[in-house]
Amino acid sequence: MKILVCISHVPDTTSKINFTEDDTKFDTNGVQFVINPNDEFGLTRAMWFKEKQGASVDVVTVGGKDTEPTIRKALAIGADTAIRVDTEALEGFQVAKELAKVAKDGGYDLIIAGRESIDYNGGMVPGMLAKLIDANFINTCVSLEVDGDKATAVREIDGGKETLTSSLPLVIGGQKGLVEESDLKIPNMRGIMMARKKPLNVVEPVGANSQASTKKFEKPAPKGDIKMVDADNIDELIDLLHNEAKAI
Amino acid sequence: MSILVYTETENGQLKKSAFEVASYAKAVADQLGEKAVAVTINAESTNELANYGIDKVLEVKNDKLAKFSADAYAETLKNAAKQEGSKVVVLSQSANAKYLAPLLAVDLEAGYASNVTELPQTDGGFTVKRTAFTNKAFNQTSIDTDVKIIGLSNNAFGLKENKSELEKIEFEAQVSDENFGINVESIDKNTDKVSIADAEIVVSGGRGLKGPENWGMIEELAEVLGAATACSKPVSDMGWRPHAEHVGQTGKPVASNLYIAIGISGAIQHLAGVSASKTKVVINNDDEAPFFKAADYGIVGDAFEVVPKLIEKLKEFKANNA
Ligand SMILES: Cc1cc2nc3c(=O)[nH]c(=O)nc-3n(C[C@H](O)[C@H](O)[C@H](O)COP(=O)(O)OP(=O)(O)OC[C@H]3O[C@@H](n4cnc5c(N)ncnc54)[C@H](O)[C@@H]3O)c2cc1C
């Protein structure tokens, strides 16, 4: 089985979110970048397939040279080959189109992406990619098994779960559940050394068009002061929730 | 031309989020001087859409669409948008709508903006405000294609009553076997409890509750309030609660009217995911817990004493206000 894992290079969850250039650009100053958490669950599931069922695992990202440490980390975790499409990731559709080229060229059976990236939270790349390459698509995937050319997946729905089957090729939008938190691997020294020798292929972009563009960023308005209620005065809380917040 | 809105149903009944996206579509239609057209799939009755300003509804009745299929539903909406010459398509951010939106975007060659929180600015271009960095910021996104798809954040716009003359039209989905590449084998849905996405109120528990055996009072509080139950990430990682209840930056987003956090410290990743909720209440025994800086109402106290009292008092309140 040939697996492609799509990796988004995102600010660590604890990053301070600030903007520069008149609030038109994300301020990367002092920000630590990581593999998008949803993608990391998918990557770890891919490693499981590699170990248990035999598979090759390529990882791909769309981005500038600054994203290389992130895909190197994926190599250190165990991926075989990394691909970087050498263009800035501007917007979901543009990224999906760039990935579609890599996906078609590679002839993958399974493409694992994350449900959404934690920076723009677009939630559009996996579905668009699937549609562009005419593959089946399962979103918010929390469990995935492959047997021959048939995949069985569980998807989260509002208030429950759905079990689905699909033929390959298949694209999934993955998240926690594909593997557990405790299954995530911190690359060891040997992995990091090996990753240096693994191929990281830089490919030219197709120059996909964007359909949307960010004009400006804003920060949420500062929060008003909290009202404290005494633990012995629950009636006051109920009164505030009913009459002031109109929440109950 | 028209504004098309997908108004979702659950067991044949229109969902509350359907009325919210309908309200929004009506406002966009007014802004652009167009009609608001809804699409329903296997709805028992569409009458209520007339309370939210919808001019016309395309009613799809098709047994093949009895179970959700992202591809087939996207195909249906594409056909509806083409027939109506719609330049704007409005969707909710339910799990199903988020699943089909990117497929529809490719089909319609439309730019898609998710997590939109306000009406678009349409003087000159077409710009929407959406959340980014999991509610830690907003971005103004210009959608530059002829057809535009908007995913409206749950609870961001609210319901706006608006009486209209509703024209009902039967609509053929025009789906084929090709749209059913994925089979639904089984659905496991908790029908006696509201989901986090649809809930007005969410009651959430953290590591401060010490163990899964203590969730009885969380469940009871949720029941009294008609709320969904949620939890912090470590609670689901330790297996105290199912993963589906994990909320936050790497879990489910919460945008309810009321969010009650019990024994949750308020780590940045947790806050990011729940901050879109309108009113936040914190119950924590540590007065320095970071959540107190991000909440509207707070009680410093032991959850094992405060929560049972709260349940008691809420029962009285409900009885008096029934
Ligand atoms: C990449 C990444 C992603 C993450 N994503 C998420 C996410 O999506 N969602 C999420 O929730 N977390 C997430 N986290 C974890 C986050 O950093 C915190 O560790 C987590 O939110 C803490 O959970 P908690 O508040 O339940 O536990 P704790 O931080 O241990 O807090 C427990 C709280 O309970 C209080 N308490 C103890 N006893 C009582 C009592 N008897 N009565 C009342 N209060 C009591 C304590 O004062 C304390 O404030 C993420 C972390 C990382 C690194």
Dig out the tokens for A234 from the structure. 């629950």
Domain spans of chain A, in order of start: 2-216
- For an interface test with A, which of B118, B136, B231, B293 has the most A Cβ atoms less than 10 Å from its Cβ? B136
Give the per-residue pLDDT at B1: 82
- Please give the structure tokens belonging to residue A178: 């594909």
How far is Cα A32 from Cα A30, in angstroms, rounded to an integer? 7
Q: Which residue of B has its CA nearest to A24?
A: B139
C-alpha span between B225 and B90 (Å, rounded): 31
As beta bridge partners, residue B248 has none
The CATH 3.40.50.620 domain(s) of chain B lie at: 2-180
B208 touches ligand 1 (CB under 6 Å) = yes
Mean pLDDT of chain B: 97
Distance, in Å, from the CA atom of A59 to the CA atom of B203, rounded to the nearest integer, reads 39
Residue B193 reports pLDDT greater than 90? no
**In the predicted structure, residue B322 carries a pLDDT above the cut 90:** no
pLDDT given at position A60: 98
How far apart are alpha carbons A100 and B171 in whole angstroms?
Answer: 33
Instruction: Name residues whose C-beta falls within 8 Å of residue B126's C-beta, 6 or more positions apart in sequence.
Output: B120, B142, B143, B144, B148
Q: Which of A197, A205, A193, A156 is nearest to A41 (CA)?
A: A156
Q: How far apart are CA B67 and CA B80, in angstroms?
A: 19
Is A205 an interface residue toward B (CB < 8 Å)? no
Are B50 and B166 spatial neighbours (Cβ–Cβ below 8 Å)?
Answer: yes
> Residue B274: its pLDDT value, please?
97
Separation of CA B70 from chain center? 17
CATH assignment of B201-320, given 2.60.40.10, 3.40.50.300, 3.40.50.1220, 3.40.50.720? 3.40.50.1220
- Which residue has the least CA distance to atom 25 on ligand 1? B264
Confidence (pLDDT) at A77 = 97
* B 266-295: CB under 8 A from A: 268-269, 272, 275, 278-279, 281-282, 292-295
pLDDT of residue B120: 98
Task: Check residue B71 and give its pLDDT.
Answer: 98
* Cα(B308) to centroid(ligand 1), Å: 22
- Residue B114 to residue A122, Cβ atoms within 8 A: yes
d(CA B172, CA A127): 25
Task: Please indicate whether residue A14, judged by its CB atom, sits closer than 6 Å to ligand 1.
Answer: no
* Helix (DSSP H) and strand (DSSP E) numbers for chain A: 6, 15
Interface of B with A in 12-51 (CB under 8 A): none
CB contact under 8 A, B95 and A158: yes
Q: Which of A83, A88, A57, A54 is nearest to A70 (CA)?
A: A83
Fold for B2-180, please state it: Rossmann fold (3.40.50)
What are the tens digits of pLDDT across the range B131-146? 999 999 999 999 999 9
- Does ligand 1 lie within 6 Å of residue B141's CB atom? no
B232 CA: nearest ligand 1 atom: 11
Give percent of chain B above pLDDT 70.
Answer: 100
What is the topology classification, in CATH, of domain A2-216?
Rossmann fold (3.40.50)
| Cis peptide upstream of residue A169 (ω within 30 degrees of 0) | yes
* Residue type (1 letter), A180: E
The reported pLDDT for the residue numbered A222 is 86
Q: What is the mean pLDDT of residues B307-316?
A: 98
Q: Is B207 annotated as a binding residue?
A: yes
Q: What is the predicted pLDDT for the residue at A223? A: 84
So what's the pLDDT on residue B276?
94
Residue B149 has pLDDT above 90, yes or no: yes
- Which atom belonging to ligand 1 lies closest to the Cα atom of B302? 42
pLDDT of residue A241: 98
What are the structure tokens assigned to B17, written together? 């989020």
Q: B314 to chain A, minimum CA–CA distance in Å? A: 7
**Residues pairing with B186 in the sheet:** A163
Mean pLDDT by 10 residues, chain A (248 residues): 98 95 96 97 98 98 98 98 97 98 98 97 97 98 97 96 98 97 93 96 96 95 92 97 96
Q: Helix A68-77 and helix A37-53: axis angle, to 10°?
A: 30
DSSP string, A86-101: -S----HHHHHHHHHH
- B-contacting residues in A 21-80 (Cβ below 8 Å): 37-38
Q: Hey, is the C-beta of A138 within 8 angstroms of any chain B C-beta?
A: yes
Residue B195's CB is within 10 A of a number of other CB atoms, namely 18
Instruction: Please choose, from the candidates B242, B322, B157, the residue with its C-alpha nearest in 3D space to the C-alpha of residue A160.
Output: B242
As annotated, the residues of chain B forming the CATH 3.40.50.1220 domain(s) are 201-320
